[in-house]
Amino acid sequence: MFESNEITRRSVVLSTSTLALTALAGCSGDSGGENDGSESRSDGGTATETERDDGNGGSGGGGTASFDGWMENVGNYDGVADETGSGAVTVAVGAQGNGGAFAFDPPAIRVSTGTTVVWEWTGEGAQHNVAAEGGGFESDLSSEEGYTFEHTFAEAGTYEYVCTPHRTLGMKGVVVVE
Ligand SMILES: [Cu+2]
């Protein structure tokens, strides 16, 4: 009887087991949490549970997401800096990393929609720029300390960018706008 009710509501549910259907009847779309609970209860699942909590904690993935490999060769990358709620965020251009002053710092940030990100040149590591993959924004090349470039992110999304001369060294970054 449960089954026929559920099936009427959503034919997708057909693929799930009867047990899961019963458990999910009250809250649709929370299958992850339900599995988590039953597993840890049965047999020493404490470690697993902790891991999962960490992984699911941040919205949109773990702190050291590779962004489909985009951040894999970025030497100074160790997680996404959460700057959500900040009106303006500054990223250094020509920070230490990638074998010299060839890094953005922090290389990965998470900001709120409407945030203006300001890139500020350190003056080290020769000429750098800030260029979005696929266009969208691009600064001039500069080696001048205190030079700045800014971009306001009006739409949610993941924006990958590089320093064109040093992209092969790993001078890359990402702005996650939510
Ligand atoms: Cu550069």
The answer to whether residues 103 and 170 belong to one domain is yes
pLDDT at residue number 63 = 52
The DSSP H or E segment spanning 90 is strand 88-95
- Please give the distance, rounded to the nearest whole angstrom, from the Cα atom of residue 163 to the centre of ligand 1: 5
Ion ligand 1, residues whose Cβ is below 5 A away? 128, 163, 166, 171
**Structural domain contains residue 68:** no
Cis amide bond preceding 106, omega within 30: yes
| Structural domain boundaries enclosing 122 | 81-177
Cβ atoms of 163 and 138 closer than 8 Å? no
pTM for the complete prediction?
A: 0.66
The answer to whether residues 28 and 116 belong to one domain is no
Per-residue pLDDT of the chain (178 residues; tens, 9 = 90+): 444 444 334 433 333 333 333 333 333 434 333 344 333 333 433 333 333 333 333 344 445 788 999 999 999 999 999 999 987 799 999 999 999 999 999 999 999 999 999 999 999 999 999 999 989 999 999 999 999 999 999 999 999 999 999 999 999 999 999 9
Q: Are strands 172-177 and 108-111 parallel, antiparallel or unpaired?
A: parallel
Alpha helices in 58-152 (DSSP H): none
- Please give the distance, rounded to the nearest whole angstrom, from the Cα atom of residue 26 to the centre of ligand 1: 53
- Please give the distance, rounded to the nearest whole angstrom, from the Cα atom of residue 56 to the centre of ligand 1: 34
pLDDT at residue number 33 = 38
CATH of the domain at 141: 2.60.40.420
Least Cα distance to 171 among 124, 136, 118, 111 occurs for 124
Cβ atoms of 153 and 87 closer than 8 Å? no
* First and final C-alpha spacing in the chain: 42
